[in-house]
Amino acid sequence: MTDEFVGANINQHSVKMTVRNISPYFLSTFLNCKYGYSQSTRHVVGITRPALDYSAIKSFLVPELDGKFQETVAKYCTQAEKLRTDSKQRYTDAQTLLLSELGLTDWQPKQQLTFVKNFSDMESAGRIDADYFQPKYDEIVNAIRDYPDGWDTLEKLARLKDSKFNPEVETEYKYIELSNIGSNGEVTDCMVELGQDLSTRARRKVTAGDVIISSVEGSLDSIALITEEYDSALCSTGFHVIQSDVLKSEVLLVLLKSIVGQLQLKKGCSGTILTAINKEEFSKIVVPKIREEKQIEIQEKVLESFNGRKRAKNLLEYAKRAVEIAIEQDEQAAIDWLESVSQVPDA
């Protein structure tokens, strides 16, 4: 538990442990490495909803490793946490740059209880639901249209990649689902499966530089930039996939995750059982033609955010592997390995 989450609540599917005579960073790293994880999977019970038998946690075997080694693991964990926190701030900075450029830094949408619309507006829109005509949607669109460097719709400024891809039965693919999208525009993980085992929704092929946007209301902020790591991966047909020659991918990401894009995405949703924004409404989203120098600033902040998060992930992976080496060999061998693959972080 880092300072960021002190005072937070946990649900019934989590277990709180108060540690004694052991570094909490070391314990968490051990439980995430293969020797801790294997003990967890061994005690999974249930059929319809398999879950860890919490009472079994008390019987988990934990190695008593040297205190100096535990401190080294803790350094990697705390440095990773610092990098993660810094990366979040870099993304926030990118969003601040964008909203400032549009003059929307302090703008907040207001849900009005009453307003008047002409019948002709409903007729042309083909909608009768009141929320679709909330004045806040017009306000954000008007703010974009007032941008001095111009504006246009996504249909004109970006390529919407909606062709279906049929995976080869015996070929292995990376598959990105909704649950693999992080809060700051990153793909956190993916499934790797043969084409024959993939979901029938795994029919969108993505390339580095694409931006994928969830079409389902309730997860409209699940938007991510496809990096080289996920080039040629597949994603669900529940995503819209776009790329632009006018707006940098990092700028598209920030635009659509900000209030500028989120309000328009929400407005465009329709349906009953599964409310979503279809291709036609998605194509109508209005975006500003951000000037090049400002795009570069935003891009740099987003890339700094991504690089920091990647370094943090690497540090945690190094720490996990070091714990495994310490168990398999000894603590000094683990420290020597750490020094060979990375510089030991300062305390």
Its pTM stands at 0.87
Number of helices (H) and strands (E) in the chain: give both, helices first: 11, 14
Write down the pLDDT at residue 122: 67
Of 54, 58, 1, 47, nearest in space to 24 by CA: 1
CATH H-level superfamily of 103-146+150-289: DNA methylase specificity domains (3.90.220.20)
Per cent of the chain over pLDDT 70 is 90
Of 98, 85, 93, nearest in space to 262 by CA: 98
Residue 154 in this model has a pLDDT that exceeds 60? yes
User: Cα–Cα distance between 180 and 206 in angstroms, integer?
Assistant: 14
User: Cα–Cα distance between 74 and 319 in angstroms, integer?
Assistant: 9
Q: What is the pLDDT of residues 60-87, one digit of tens each?
A: 899 999 999 999 999 999 999 999 999 9
Residue 27 in this model has a pLDDT that exceeds 60? yes
Amino acid at 316: L
Q: What is the pLDDT of residues 252-308, one digit of tens each?
A: 999 999 999 999 999 999 887 889 999 999 999 999 999 999 999 999 999 999 999
Phi, psi of 45, rounded to the nearest 5 degrees = -130, 165
Average pLDDT value for residue range 309-315: 94
- Extents of the domains making up the chain: 3-88+313-341, 103-146+150-289
Write down the pLDDT at residue 315: 95
User: Cα–Cα distance between 264 and 252 in angstroms, integer?
Assistant: 14
190 within 8 A of 250, measured Cβ to Cβ: no
Write down the pLDDT at residue 112: 65
Half-sphere exposure of 284 (CA within 13 A, CB side): 15
User: Cα–Cα distance between 341 and 308 in angstroms, integer?
Assistant: 18
* DSSP assigned state of 344: P
Write down the pLDDT at residue 10: 72
Average pLDDT value for residue range 168-180: 95
Write down the pLDDT at residue 121: 65
Average pLDDT value for residue range 160-187: 94
Amino acid at 168: E
